[in-house]
Structure 1
Amino acid sequence: MNLIYKNEKTLFGIMLAVSLLIWAALIISTVGMALVYGLIFFISYCFAQSALVSYLKGTAVQITPAQFPDLYQRIETCCQRLDLAPVPDAYLLQMGGVFNAFATRFLGRHFIVLYSEVVDALEERPDAINFYIGHEIGHIKRNHLRWSALLAPATFLPLLGAAYARAREYTCDRYGFHACDDLKSAQVGLAALAAGGKRWRQMSAGQYAAQAQQSTGFWMSFHELVGDYPWLVKRMAVVRGLAHGNEVSQPGRHGLAYLLALLVPRLGVGGAGSVLAVIALIGVLGAVAVPAYEEYMTKARMTQAIAVGHDATAAVERYFYANGRGPATLEQAGYAMADPSHAVQDIAVDPGNGVVRVFPSDLNYRGKAIAFTPSVDENKRVVWQCAGEEIPASVLPPECRN
């Protein structure tokens, strides 16, 4: 059995290509500042992950050969079956009735967290716990956690980000299925997710999987297309098919749902938490990208202003060679300002020393000047030195930073 869902590798390739293009565009457009902001984001991410891992170590119960040896043996067996080494750190966490499990990664070390509600609900069918363990091992084996930062730019794209997330879940369900001794145990694990800790015993997995045929409507199609997880009924249909040695063909989606989903960036399935995450991302982008863009535009306008200054100094220099002295005004030197980009508010020459001052139109630097100071070298040639007067060197080209 192929443990990798049919579309995951293709979607990963598209995600990687798109993300690399976005990262390259960010680095070029921000003149490399995106790398600095990426480092800041990575540090922030490490702090967030450290908070999660600290919470696990300070709250959850670590699963060891001495503490819950039965669960430890299951995790170790699943790792051997799925060829994962070393065995990740594992914890049992009480989540107030929530049925789930998750894997995380911090500073190169992997962690698996089982919710106690799942373990308690499946006490009669402990092999079904292997499904949860194997599912999380799938995330580790497929490097889903390792690639997440690099793929981040593409994850928010409509359709693509959510499609890749769903493909990963289908892949990890296959890992969970392969980790079970009994081919029906994966169905039991999904049944517990669907019906809860007690009612799963009375639930018909076959009838539940048949509900997948109801997912072809417009709204069910749309909400799945913008979500990170396939409908649970579809996941049940897949693992039932695997138990019978079949690959299940899922029912098609409504065509118009794709058009609407194309207008919705990926928010995930975290409800208010996902919305808050998007709002936070917008805030970070605003705090990072807007200042970077403003600085980029300021540098561009300063470069244009300096180009105007070069034209003026050339006129002053010609006048000096022709008359042996500097002009009283730029008009006397035959200079007429050409500034189609409106980068310069004013430009003037000092008749006493020949210094040409360019006053940028940038509102942040009104009244401040870029000074071109002339001197004569040993060959009687005029040499110009450019520098900002109360204008930071950081927004000027290298030629004007001395």
Structure 2
Amino acid sequence: MWLAFAFVLVISFTSGGTSLLILFLTIAFVAVTQWLILRMWKAYLLGRAVKVTPESFPEIHAEIAELRQRLDYHRPVDVYIADDVNGKMTVTSLLGTRVLLIEGGFAAELQEDGPAALRFMLGSFIGWLKARHGRMTLSVLILDRLRYLTYVVPWILSYWRCSKYTCDQYGYLCAEDLHASLGVIARLTVGKELGPSISPTGVLEQAHQVSRRTLSRYAELSQAQPHMVNRYLNLIAFAGSVMPADYARFRAGLDEKGRRILRDLILQTPHRQSPVSQHWPAA
């Protein structure tokens, strides 16, 4: 909220006292309106979804409790499971309301794949809460209401894209399994049927093409989330910096072409200073 306040305050001072009054009234209106909307939404979830408790979903509740302890996140979070959720899982943190909403079918699929896949998804969203990536939400709503959002949206989108990389890394640290973590990203990209059959070399080759094409990079600038192939690559590079043994197992499964492409791509990531990028074994 302070971002919106500081941005609009400068404009208000240059426009006179009337604009300053409008600023405060708008902030109050947006805050109260969003608080009421969140209360109504939570009431809706309580009646139309199933809240995760030790009695309703003991396994999922236990996983969430363990991951919250591992990430040292102790603020209250309401977790619900519903039949249909846009994006499979969503997280909301605004005005003291923190809700994690999970699609039931998606949670069941991840459980079938083993605990690591579910931990990756849950850990990424708990990491989102831990890192307080939702702190700009109210600012965005206020700026949008005042019709100033257009002036700052490029920086906000950049922040959101970076936060997605961070959440993936949180998820991986919770899962401790690169194969399972990449499998979740693949599933979100092409679906549960084709996700397991994706060739890592093919994804890396596509990421290489994206990195070399100006239009592909420009297309990402207008999105709140990074390209899936970039998330895939970033997670591999991050694994190389924090869990070299896990990274080595992944690299060993690539063919010669995949190893060569991976070497070139990692040198373009923020993790290029990691030990694995400085001491490349022979391809």
TM score, norm. by length of structure 2: 0.74
Gaps of 5+ in 1: 1-14, 252-402
Please tell me whether the aligned partners of residues 94 and 135 of structure 2 are also in contact (alpha carbons under 8 angstroms). no
Q: CA deviation at 1:89?
A: 1.6
Q: Is structure 2 residue 266 aligned with structure 1 residue 248?
A: yes
Q: Is structure 2 residue 104 aligned with structure 1 residue 116?
A: yes
CA distance in 1: counterparts of 2:209 and 2:11, whole angstroms: 43
CA distance in 1: counterparts of 2:6 and 2:73, whole angstroms: 32
CA distance in 2: counterparts of 1:148 and 1:214, whole angstroms: 33
CA distance in 1: counterparts of 2:39 and 2:166, whole angstroms: 28
CA distance in 1: counterparts of 2:94 and 2:20, whole angstroms: 30
3-state SS, counterpart of residue 74 of structure 1: helix
Please tell me whether the aligned partners of residues 118 and 197 of structure 1 are also in contact (alpha carbons under 8 angstroms). no
Give the structure 2 partner of residue 361 of structure 1. none
Alignment of 1:192-341 (within 5 A): 192-215=187-210, 216-245=212-241, 248-250=266-268
CA distance in 2: counterparts of 1:16 and 1:171, whole angstroms: 23
CA distance in 1: counterparts of 2:44 and 2:266, whole angstroms: 40
Deviation track 1:175-205 (CA, whole Å, cap 9, x = no partner) reads: 1111114233211211210121222222223
Q: CA deviation at 1:228?
A: 0.4
Q: CA deviation at 1:75?
A: 0.7
Give the structure 2 partner of residue 138 of structure 1. 127
Higher relative contact order (CA 8 A, sep 6+): 2
Q: Is structure 2 residue 81 aligned with structure 1 residue 63?
A: no
Higher strand share: 1
Q: CA deviation at 1:218?
A: 3.2
CA distance in 2: counterparts of 1:16 and 1:214, whole angstroms: 39
CA distance in 1: counterparts of 2:60 and 2:7, whole angstroms: 43
Give the structure 1 partner of residue 10 of structure 2. 25
CA distance in 2: counterparts of 1:21 and 1:161, whole angstroms: 15
Deviation track 1:235-258 (CA, whole Å, cap 9, x = no partner) reads: 01111222333793448xxxxxxx
Q: CA deviation at 1:132?
A: 1.2
Which of 103-112 and 137-146 deviates more? 103-112
Aligned equivalent of 1:43, options 32, 35, 38: 32
3-state SS, counterpart of residue 134 of structure 2: helix
CA distance in 2: counterparts of 1:179 and 1:151, whole angstroms: 30
Aligned equivalent of 1:104, options 92, 108, 120: 92
CA distance in 2: counterparts of 1:95 and 1:53, whole angstroms: 16
Give the structure 2 partner of residue 338 of structure 1. none
Give the structure 1 partner of residue 251 of structure 2. none
Calculate the aligned-residue CA RMSD, in Å: 2.6
Q: CA deviation at 1:207?
A: 2.5
Q: Is structure 2 residue 23 aligned with structure 1 residue 34?
A: yes
CA distance in 1: counterparts of 2:104 and 2:231, whole angstroms: 22
Q: CA deviation at 1:82?
A: 0.9
Q: Give the count of matched residue pairs.
A: 235
Structure 1 segments of 4+ aligned residues over 4 angstroms from their partners? none
Q: CA deviation at 1:58?
A: 2.0
Amino acid at match of 2:236: R
Q: Which has the larger radius of gyration?
A: 1
CA 1:106–1:166 in structure 2 vs 1: closer, same or farther (change >3 Å)? closer
Give the structure 2 partner of residue 148 of structure 1. 137
3-state SS, counterpart of residue 84 of structure 1: coil
Q: CA deviation at 1:206?
A: 4.0
Amino acid at match of 1:43: V
Please tell me whether the aligned partners of residues 76 and 87 of structure 1 are also in contact (alpha carbons under 8 angstroms). no
Higher helix share: 2
Give the structure 1 partner of residue 180 of structure 2. 185
Q: Is structure 2 residue 91 aligned with structure 1 residue 95?
A: no
CA distance in 1: counterparts of 2:138 and 2:87, whole angstroms: 27
Q: What's the % identity of the aligned pairs? A: 24
CA 1:20–1:40 in structure 2 vs 1: closer, same or farther (change >3 Å)? closer
3-state SS, counterpart of residue 234 of structure 2: helix
Which of 218-227 and 52-61 deviates more? 52-61
Please tell me whether the aligned partners of residues 93 and 99 of structure 2 are also in contact (alpha carbons under 8 angstroms). yes
Deviation track 1:94-128 (CA, whole Å, cap 9, x = no partner) reads: 217x5531111354132111222321322122321
Please tell me whether the aligned partners of residues 60 and 93 of structure 1 are also in contact (alpha carbons under 8 angstroms). yes
Please tell me whether the aligned partners of residues 194 and 232 of structure 1 are also in contact (alpha carbons under 8 angstroms). yes
